[in-house]
Structure 1
């Protein structure tokens, strides 16, 4: 009986490890996040630059990896059967008294099973799991080697890539997948980042607020007409002083008899300057023009208009030219970071969760914010912006106090009406 071929066994283990390098490289580069690779590349990492190049041409790279894995598997299988089957069979024959032919066949099968098991564990599963833990770092480490190998195997890789393309065409499929990130995926990433402790809860809320703002029309963030404070151009000096003392705002609209006849916007400091200088308060002369926006314009576009305006207040009109409200930077900031207590009527929050898990919601609360809290799906093309508008669209009539409606898993009950406006709702699990 010959000595066991330890050198052959070492070669087989080396081939298994080489297979693991290919598997780990494939998983690391495919699963790496391109923004993080770009950040590493901007920091001077050549490996990250090579990994980006491979990720941008995945078909060529994956063909190269598959060639390597296939060749290693073929060589490993043939070499292990030829070099280890006979020695293992001899030891089985000597130990158990089996016939040489029978022992050799059993030894061959045993070698194949053990090599296959080791190839799966050491050559596939462990390297891939390791690559998923730190994909960008591993991709930067192995990318230069893989890039060089890809160049060497370019002819064979090209043949495999074109063959794969023809199969996709025959199946009526696009060869390249859509790599764009959807809004829902981005929301999921942000939520996972909060769960992992990468960002704080308040940061998560602000990021979500920015995403909601980009989807809102200006009428969804404006101060509605009924809540707009304004001065009549015909008011006396005493009435103007009293109004400025009573208001928390530093800028007010100036109108002629009705808020529909807006002249412009007056700043409190201009009035104070006139009083200090002993001049008469002429609201028409002090009023400055304000831009006019349609109520269907995006909130982000409204922000650009306010940034360039002489006074950061814009008048919002509907399609018929009727005055609907005003929008200010404070309105846009409140849509992102939440309303400031000084701007909340009676200091009441728009949404309060009670001990039993139910919610007390303000009718003026943004509908998309309500949907985020309750896990509801709202139609993309909706013609309402608030919780009150959502309930009206579901009920199809003006409700009365105490009237309730069940939508999905939630029961909406009107607990307070302010005239014809839904003021408060109680939302509980159906």
Structure 2
């Protein structure tokens, strides 16, 4: 694989990592009420997101496996591509490695993590619904590895008597908090707020 091929491979790794980052944040941030409205409108993907939210173990295991594999590959390939080129420019192996490491790591932090996660936080339901099918395919693809890691995690949860999924029951306090927040934001008019 030539330098151009390796650079394209790094770009592919960044996009792959961005996919996992967006999927992770959007699933965690997608609101059940909005997803249920989409389901009522006939959106099958919204139901898949709700199903994943009710049992997220395999989903988050897949995300962590994917992110870590990508990070390891990026470190290996990135160092192999940029360090020799930078060595010719700066003439120092350690300095060339540090610049290469900083550039690759910085690219991943910005384009594979920060920007994708911020986008997913702004549009959690839309992002989750868009990414649920490729994410479910990835879960199936990595099933044997996911099963091993999930089983270990489940065992730890069982030992410490911790629930495996979150509770999404909406209390009166939640409703009042939403109405108050809506009134402060100007979404709910003052008259409606006091009814």
TM-score under structure 2 normalisation? 0.90
Q: Secondary structure at the match of 1:126?
A: helix
Cα separation, 1, equivalents of 2:164 and 2:112 = 28
Match of 2:105 among 116, 121, 127: 116
Match of 2:194 among 198, 201, 205: 205
Higher relative contact order (CA 8 A, sep 6+): 2
- What runs of 5+ residues in structure 2 fail to find an aligned partner? none
Mapping 1:5-404, distance limit 5 Å: 5-93=3-91, 103-206=92-195
What's the CA shift for 1:33?
0.8
What's the CA shift for 1:42?
2.2
Cα separation, 2, equivalents of 1:34 and 1:179 = 8
When the two structures are aligned, how many residues end up with a matched partner?
A: 194
Structure (1 or 2) with the greater strand fraction: 1
Cα separation, 2, equivalents of 1:177 and 1:46 = 22
C-alpha contact (below 8 Å) 1:54/1:147 kept by paired residues: no
C-alpha contact (below 8 Å) 2:55/2:164 kept by paired residues: no
Cα separation, 2, equivalents of 1:120 and 1:142 = 21
The higher radius of gyration belongs to 1
Cα separation, 2, equivalents of 1:174 and 1:53 = 16
CA offsets per residue over residues 373-411 of structure 1, 9 Å max, x none? xxxxxxxxxxxxxxxxxxxxxxxxxxxxxxxxxxxxxxx
CA offsets per residue over residues 320-344 of structure 1, 9 Å max, x none? xxxxxxxxxxxxxxxxxxxxxxxxx
Structure (1 or 2) with the greater helix fraction: 2
What's the CA shift for 1:77?
0.9
C-alpha contact (below 8 Å) 1:19/1:72 kept by paired residues: yes
- In structure 2, do the counterparts of structure 1 residues 163 and 85 end up closer, same or farther at CA, with 3 Å as the change threshold? same
CA offsets per residue over residues 166-204 of structure 1, 9 Å max, x none? 222334433334333333232211111222232211222
CA offsets per residue over residues 7-41 of structure 1, 9 Å max, x none? 32232122112101110111001110112112112
CA offsets per residue over residues 37-84 of structure 1, 9 Å max, x none? 121122222322222222222111111111111111111111111222
- In structure 2, do the counterparts of structure 1 residues 40 and 151 end up closer, same or farther at CA, with 3 Å as the change threshold? same
